[in-house]
Amino acid sequence: MYISTHLELKGFCERAAAFPAVAIDTEFLRERTYHPRLCLVQAATPDECAVIDPLAIDDLSPLAGLLSDPSVIKVFHACSQDMEVLCHALGVLPAPIFDTQVAAAFLGERMQISYNALVHAFCGVSLPKSESLTDWSRRPLTDSQVEYAVDDVRYLIDAYAVIERRLAELGRVSWVADEMRPLTELSHYAPDPRLAYRRIKRINSCTRRQLGIARELAAWRERRAERQDVPRKWVMSDEVLIALIKRTPRDAGDFRRIRGTEQLSDRDVEAAMLAIDRGRSCPADRLPAAGHARRAPSPETESVCDLMYALLRLVSERSGVATVLIAGRDELLGYIDHPERSPLREGWRFELVGSLLDDLLAGDIGLTVKDGAVEIL
């Protein structure tokens, strides 16, 4: 069903609210804007599928109400971008949510499984990819575009039913809920502009003083891009930003000598120079910590980490929980140094592997090879 009026939307949302779960997906564009532009919302219950046109409907409050209804689980696949665009467009953060990509990693599937692979694994259906490069802002949509959009939720609600049942059988519903919790926090989708410098390419090559300048300049760029609703790279590229923080121009003339600043107005240059000056004058004890890579561990520590990772792989194979979902090598190295601070000491991770790691590090268990496979001694 294609929904293009408030009345149609209201009717669908009222019917959908009667179900315990509804599948949701979005189509959006963000190539020319800071915030993603919502172009389409797909929704499905076990009874019907709907393609909602937000460009044709002035009042989307029924959809906002459904997405914030605490009695209805909103099912997504790889939810982060969908959550961001819906939050910006509707002013509500969907909750409660269930992400099938995360959940599948608890059931023997690889981390970050694609939607098509998920549908094939849990529904036995192979989906086409013919509209993957569609400009979803153009109207009217063709029948094939609408059908393609519907497929994104038609099978998602079915896959959810299978996944939820298998999780319940294994006693892992609460494990998935633990992984969902950070994704329902507004801070996940509204990052602090003063932390934007951490995402700059090659930022780890900078000194602490340069990081202080980067923090101020990147925050200015972020606010400027958001205010004008343009991509941050249109304001200033990462390459130009890195050049500015390393050269630290003293006046507008020095600033303008750096290629890639031509598009900035005199007012922009003045504001960027003020940001650079703030970073330059920041007290040493308030500068960001250096983001250089962790000091290389000793050969002995590397060997211990290898043994821990072998145990992790064994637990992953036996449990069907993806290894990278449990922990990576950095987390294992952190566990060696400060186990009390590690996520492996909390929740489902400790239940699954934490006590085994403690026993391994204490020498109470070991690993051996039997019939070509690793076994716990």
DSSP 86-100: HHHHHS----SEEEH
pLDDT for position 281: 96
CA atoms within 13 A on the CB side of 83: 25
Pairwise CA distance, residues 258 & 39, whole Å: 38
CA atoms within 13 A on the CB side of 319: 23
Among residues 309, 125, 281, the alpha carbon closest in space to that of 213 is found at 281
Structure tokens given for 327:
């922990």
Supply φ then ψ for residue 290, to 5 degrees. -60, 135
**What is 290-315 written as a DSSP string?**
P-PPPPPPPHHHHHHHHHHHHHHHHH
Residue with tokens 């009042």: 59
Longest CA span, the chain: 72
Active site residue 197: no
Check 53, 82, 109, 222 and give the catalytic one.
Answer: 82
Segments of the chain scoring below 70 in pLDDT? 130-132, 291-295
Pairwise CA distance, residues 25 & 119, whole Å: 14
pLDDT for position 292: 53
pLDDT for position 189: 86
Among residues 274, 246, 243, the alpha carbon closest in space to that of 261 is found at 243
Domains along the chain with CATH numbers: 2-188 (3.30.420.10), 193-286 (1.10.150.80), 299-376 (1.10.150.80)
Pairwise CA distance, residues 118 & 128, whole Å: 13
Which residues are bridge partners to 341 per DSSP? none
Type of residue numbered 161: A
Interacting residues of 198 by C-beta distance below 8 A, sequence separation 6+: 291
Q: In the chain, which ranges are E strands?
A: 2-3, 21-29, 37-44, 49-52, 73-76, 97-99, 367-370, 373-376
Active site residue 330: no
* pTM summary value: 0.87
pLDDT for position 297: 87
Active site residue 25: yes
Helix (H, G, I), strand (E, B) or coil at 168: helix
Structure tokens given for 181:
């919790």
Pairwise CA distance, residues 114 & 125, whole Å: 13
Distances (CA, A) of 360 to 307, 337, 353: 9, 15, 11
Active site residue 152: yes
Check 109, 152, 164, 216 and give the catalytic one.
Answer: 152
Type of residue numbered 83: M
Check 148, 155, 197, 335 and give the catalytic one.
Answer: 148
Residue with tokens 């409907």: 57
Say if CB 66 and CB 57 are below 8 A apart: no
Helix (H, G, I), strand (E, B) or coil at 309: helix
pLDDT for position 291: 63
Active site residue 148: yes
Type of residue numbered 324: V
Structure tokens given for 245:
């923080």
Say if CB 51 and CB 4 are below 8 A apart: no
